[in-house]
Structure 1
Amino acid sequence: MSDTSGPSITVLYFAAALTATGIHSQTVALPSSVFELSSLGNLLVSLHPNTDLEAILKNSQWSVDAEMVEDQNNVVLKGGEEVAVICPVSGG
């Protein structure tokens, strides 16, 4: 599911996000050459309809190129990044 006509990123899914999507990683074409991380959740949900991904993303954090993101509104994706969905982990 890759589109070579424009910028793309690699999205990594872990824990509940992996269970919801059924995949560990995915190449995602960005709809524009400058795309805000805060919009990525909606894009991913549209790529995985009829899953619990939307609810999972509301409680998850993001990392971009192995760096945890504090405020997703301040991160712009330009293509080539590796973005991970970091789901909360419950201990026991």
Structure 2
Amino acid sequence: MSNFKPSITVLYFAAASTTVGLTSEVVTIPQSGLPLASLGDLLISLHPNTQLKKVLECSQWSVDAEMVDDPEKLVLRGDEEVAVICPVSGG
């Protein structure tokens, strides 16, 4: 049996980066994969006592530089680059 643990790289921008204090991190996901819709809860559990839940509620996901319209339909298998895209306010 292999000890391989699939992982993804999460990129944080704008408010998400400010909230967690990082611009990116590598996150281990379950061997069976992780629905993109569940990633927010995983990230919130890794960064307790932050405003990440609030930031994620108004953010979108990008996987491998492509915006995701329906996070329920996408399962992360490992090696993806997932970005938290926060709303941008214009001035």
Q: Please say whether Structure 1 and Structure 2 have the same fold, judged by a TM-score greater than 0.5.
A: yes
Separation in 1, partners of 2:4, 2:31: 11
What percent of counterpart residues are identical?
64
Partner letter of residue 41 of structure 1?
G
Aligned length: 89
Shift of 1:32: 3.2
Shift of 1:51: 0.4
Q: Which residue of 1 aligns with 2:25?
A: 26
Residue 56 (structure 2) pairs with residue 39 (structure 1): no
Q: Which residue of 2 aligns with 1:15?
A: 14
Q: Which residue of 2 aligns with 1:70?
A: 69
TM-score when normalising by structure 1:
0.93
For each residue in 1:2-56, what CA deviation from the matched residue of structure 2 results, as whole angstroms up to 9, or x when unmatched?
Answer: xx74100000000000000000000000023321000000000000000000010
Q: Which has the larger radius of gyration?
A: 2
Q: Which residue of 2 aligns with 1:81?
A: 80
The answer for unaligned runs of 5 or more in structure 2 is none
Partner letter of residue 66 of structure 1?
A
The answer for unaligned runs of 5 or more in structure 1 is none
CA-atom RMSD in angstroms = 1.1
Contact 1:6 1:33 in 2 (8 A): no
Contact 1:38 1:73 in 2 (8 A): yes
